[in-house]
Amino acid sequence: MATEMKRIPCMAANWKMNKTSAEAADFVRQILPQLKELAGVERVICPPAAALPALSALLAGSGVGLGAQNMHWEAKGAFTGELSAAMVKEFCAYVIIGHSERRGLFGETDEMVAKKVKAALAAGLIPIVCVGETLSENEAGQTDAVVRRQMNAAFDGLTVEQAAKAIVAYEPVWAIGTGRAAHGPDANRVVAGSIRSVLAAKFNPGVSAAVRVLYGGSVTPENIAEFLSEPEIDGGLVGGASLKPDYVEIVRAALKRVH
Ligand code: PGA
């Protein structure tokens, strides 16, 4: 797979349902001085929605990006509990779409993910599109089929320009929050064979080479180098470790990525 194009590494922090707005602000004040200096890496913090206003004020002008963890595809209306793309865009440049917890715990289908990706891009947000197989799918040898299906659905109907702006996170569900990360070469194989190849077939090789693909699932300061050394992996989507100053160390590791 051609990777002549230099892709800027990206380390996104997915805080999930952790930290109140006050706790989020305290933590960001603590790590921001160090995080600011690591400008060679695209840094994105995705706190709970309630912390977006406070963090948007704190991160303004810092070079550190802010993302939401979810959004609805409709512009407005009777959708209790949901946020629209415009509401996210007031505070954020990024939004995580189709995280496996949204898919597995809240019934998000491939079709819903596709609508969200389209609405996010139409609003000028950068979607961080999550794909990945469950343990049983992995054990049944269905990893590539599942990831290809999720990729084909999520990127359906996008223009080449839109697709090139998206970020993909490959997160094997069995590796999330389990302390059992994937092996770098295995993740790289899925990224090359089922993520970049779908982008090349659906759009063109330029899109496939331009899109950043992150690995997610039990990333730590200790194992991040293994993923960054893989040619098709451009960073991480970090859950548990991003709630601690470990996140700074994980971002720092990405500075050393050369490809
Ligand atoms: P984890 O979560 O790093 O805690 O495994 C990753 C994720 O779900 O994005």
Q: What atom in ligand 1 is closest to the CA of residue 100?
A: 8
Which pLDDT tens digit goes with each residue over 123-153? 999 999 999 999 999 999 999 999 999 999 9
User: 258: pLDDT confidence band, cut at 50, 70 and 90?
Assistant: low
Is the confidence at residue 2, as pLDDT, over 80? no
User: 6: pLDDT confidence band, cut at 50, 70 and 90?
Assistant: confident
Is the confidence at residue 104, as pLDDT, over 50? yes
User: What pLDDT is recorded for position 14?
Assistant: 98
User: What pLDDT is recorded for position 29?
Assistant: 98
CA distance 98 to 195: 15
Q: What atom in ligand 1 is closest to the CA of residue 169?
A: 9
Average pLDDT over residues 76-96: 98
Tally the C-alpha atoms within 13 A of residue 51's C-alpha that lie toward its C-beta: 26
User: What pLDDT is recorded for position 1?
Assistant: 45
Average pLDDT over residues 10-33: 98
User: 22: pLDDT confidence band, cut at 50, 70 and 90?
Assistant: very high
Mutate to test the pocket of ligand 1, among 10, 11, 14 (most ligand atoms within 8 A of CB): 14
Cβ neighbours for 253, distance < 8 A, ≥ 6 positions apart: 221, 224, 225, 228
Name the residue at shortest CA distance from atom 7 of ligand 1. Answer: 239
Is the confidence at residue 221, as pLDDT, over 50? yes
Average pLDDT over residues 66-87: 98
Is the confidence at residue 214, as pLDDT, over 50? yes
Mutate to test the pocket of ligand 1, among 167, 218, 223 (most ligand atoms within 8 A of CB): 218
User: What pLDDT is recorded for position 257?
Assistant: 81
Q: What DSSP letter does each residue of 70-136 carry, written as one string?
A: ---SSSSSS-TT---HHHHHTT-SEEEES-HHHHHHH---HHHHHHHHHHHHHTT-EEEEEE---HH
Name the residue at shortest CA distance from atom 9 of ligand 1. Answer: 239
Q: How far is the CA of 204 from the centre of ligand 1 (A)?
A: 30
Is the confidence at residue 251, as pLDDT, over 60? yes
Among 42, 108, 133, 171, the one annotated catalytic: 171
Average pLDDT over residues 170-187: 97
The H or E element spanning position 167 is: strand 167-170
Is the confidence at residue 4, as pLDDT, over 70? no
Cβ neighbours for 255, distance < 8 A, ≥ 6 positions apart: 9, 38, 40, 41
Respond yes or no: is residue 23 known to be catalytic: no
User: 97: pLDDT confidence band, cut at 50, 70 and 90?
Assistant: very high
Q: What atom in ligand 1 is closest to the CA of residue 241?
A: 3
Q: What is the pTM of this model?
A: 0.97
User: 3: pLDDT confidence band, cut at 50, 70 and 90?
Assistant: very low
Respond yes or no: is residue 171 known to be catalytic: yes
Among 42, 72, 99, 232, the one annotated catalytic: 99
Token pair, residue 23, equals 């706790």
Q: What atom in ligand 1 is closest to the CA of residue 96?
A: 9
Which protein residues touch ligand 1 with a CB less than 6 Å away?
14, 171, 176-177, 216-219, 237-241
Average pLDDT over residues 248-257: 94
What's the whole-number average pLDDT of the chain? 96
**Residues paired with residue 170 on neighbouring β-strands, in sequence order:** 131, 215
